[in-house]
């Protein structure tokens, strides 16, 4: 919808885990390197941990896409399965016989035979289990036992387990100590800091064919980072809806007020203010600053050149300024702006506005 106004060839902030939009921040680059090394060296189990929305699935898909044809990857996205369902899914994904899809014994026999054939042809097999924090204990144990398919020198099936931090906590329990002992590599995705958020937003805009400085003001980008707490999925939600609001208001670049409107509509709270003393109105001493790296000189230059401050000129045209939202004759919300913008199309279709 808004692609033409902002010069995109695709929407840059969709929630699909498209590897084309993977922005190589340090933490994503490190996780991607670990996954590629795990596949190349046929490590037994690799654990990828990260909060919801930090980009685990996107990194996994990027690692899979980079593999040559001799690497066969099976990706299980929904692990909330029974043992019987897991056997069926595994048999189907590895293209085993119909009998193997209904019998665990036949599945294991056929799978081991397939893996040994692939090893003889110098091919690699990888099983990726996403959302692993949802796995029941008995299914975790079934997955662990798959790593017993091996030769004297290497594993025949590499296993990548991805999940939220709860999965790491579960591995600390005594009942899963055998599983934890088999984890050969561990990597973690944390929320982005301010510099990484700027790089992330600018990188996705460029990947979609846009110009960062003509899409968001500097103030808007920093506000997106503040409200999202550096979670890429939340950044995408805020940025996508701010661009939709910018289309309705014909605002280019999108300013900070539209970002605030989006966060209010989605009930995304602002960073918490310092608390006050219980029973008194006196404020506590100022809270210590958050542990976040300040912008270096080079990063400040990158941010200012990609996302200009008010008054900075853009590509020879008039200075791009943070455009204030149009004066309201009443409490018009962002949703109302979008509805008003869409009114002509609704009328042309003969539809009624609710």
Give the residue among 161, 158, 160, 75 at the shortest CA–CA distance from 124: 158
Range 127-138 average pLDDT: 92
What is the CB neighbour count within 10 angstroms for residue 157?
23
Going by pLDDT thresholds of 50, 70 and 90, the confidence category of residue 25 is confident
| Residue pair 340/248 in contact by the 8 Å Cβ criterion | yes
Express as a percent the part of the chain with pLDDT over 90. 65
pLDDT exceeds cutoff 90 at 13: yes
Residue 290 in tokens: 């958050």
* Three-class SS state of 213: helix
pLDDT given at position 346: 47
End-to-end CA distance of the chain: 21
**Virtual torsion, Cα 323, 324, 326, 330, nearest 10 deg:** 160
Mean pLDDT throughout 12-37?
A: 92
Tell me the average pLDDT of the chain: 83
pTM to 2 decimal places: 0.79
Please write the tens of the pLDDT for every residue from 54-112: 999 999 999 999 999 999 999 998 878 889 999 999 999 999 999 999 999 999 999 99
Q: Whose CA is closest to 11, among 352, 334, 247?
A: 247
Kindly tell me the sign of the dihedral angle through the C-alpha atoms of 211, 217, 222, 225. Answer: negative
Reported as half-sphere exposure (CB side, CA atoms, 13 A), residue 22 has a value of 23
- Sign of the dihedral through C-alpha 160, 163, 168, 170: negative
pLDDT in tens, 179-230: 999 999 999 999 999 999 999 999 999 999 999 999 999 999 999 999 999 9
Name the CA dihedral angle for 80, 84, 86, 87, rounded to a multiple of 10 degrees.
Answer: 180
Q: Which residue has the higher pLDDT, 309 or 47?
A: 47
Statement: residue 330 has pLDDT above 60: no
Q: What is the DSSP letter of 42?
A: T
Q: Which domains does the chain have, with CATH numbers?
A: 1-8+192-270+295-313+332-354 (1.10.8.60), 26-189 (3.40.50.300)
Q: 3-class SS at 232? A: helix
Q: What is the C-alpha separation between 141 and 27, in angstroms, rounded?
A: 30
pLDDT at 340: 64
């Amino acid at each position: 919808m808004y692609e033409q106004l902002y010069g995109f060839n695709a929407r840059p902030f969709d929630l699909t885990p498209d590897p084309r939009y993977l922005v190589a921040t340090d933490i994503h680059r490190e996780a991607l390197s670990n996954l590629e090394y795990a596949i190349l060296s046929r490590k037994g189990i690799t654990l990828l941990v990260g909060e919801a929305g930090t980009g685990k699935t996107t990194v996994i898909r990027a690692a899979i896409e980079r593999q040559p044809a001799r690497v066969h990857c099976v990706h299980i996205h929904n692990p909330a399965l029974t043992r019987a369902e897991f056997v069926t899914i595994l048999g189907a994904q590895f293209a085993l016989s119909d009998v193997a899809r209904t019998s665990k014994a036949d599945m294991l026999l056929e799978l081991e035979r397939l893996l040994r054939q692939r090893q003889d042809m110098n091919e690699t097999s990888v099983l990726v289990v996403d959302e692993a924090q949802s796995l029941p204990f008995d299914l975790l144990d079934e997955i662990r036992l798959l790593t017993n398919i091996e030769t004297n020198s290497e594993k025949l099936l590499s296993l990548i387990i991805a999940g939220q931090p709860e999965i790491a906590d579960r591995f600390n329990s005594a009942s899963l100590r055998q599983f934890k002992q088999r984890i050969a590599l561990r990597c973690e995705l944390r929320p982005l800091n301010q510099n990484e958020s700027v790089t992330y937003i600018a990188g996705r805009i460029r990947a979609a064919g846009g110009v960062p400085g003509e899409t968001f003001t500097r103030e808007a980008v920093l506000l997106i980072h503040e409200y999202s707490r550096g979670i890429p999925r939340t950044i995408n939600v805020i940025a996508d809806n701010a661009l939709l609001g910018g289309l309705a208001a014909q605002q280019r670049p999108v300013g900070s007020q539209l970002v605030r409107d989006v966060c209010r509509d989605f009930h995304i709270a602002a960073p918490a203010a310092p608390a006050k003393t219980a029973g008194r109105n006196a404020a506590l001493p100022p809270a210590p600053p958050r542990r976040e790296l300040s912008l270096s000189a080079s990063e400040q230059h990158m941010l200012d050149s990609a996302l200009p401050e008010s008054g900075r000129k853009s590509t020879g045209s008039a200075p791009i300024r943070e455009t204030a939202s149009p004066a309201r004759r009443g409490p018009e919300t962002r949703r109302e702006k979008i509805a008003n913008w869409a009114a002509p199309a609704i009328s042309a279709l003969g539809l009624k506005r609710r």
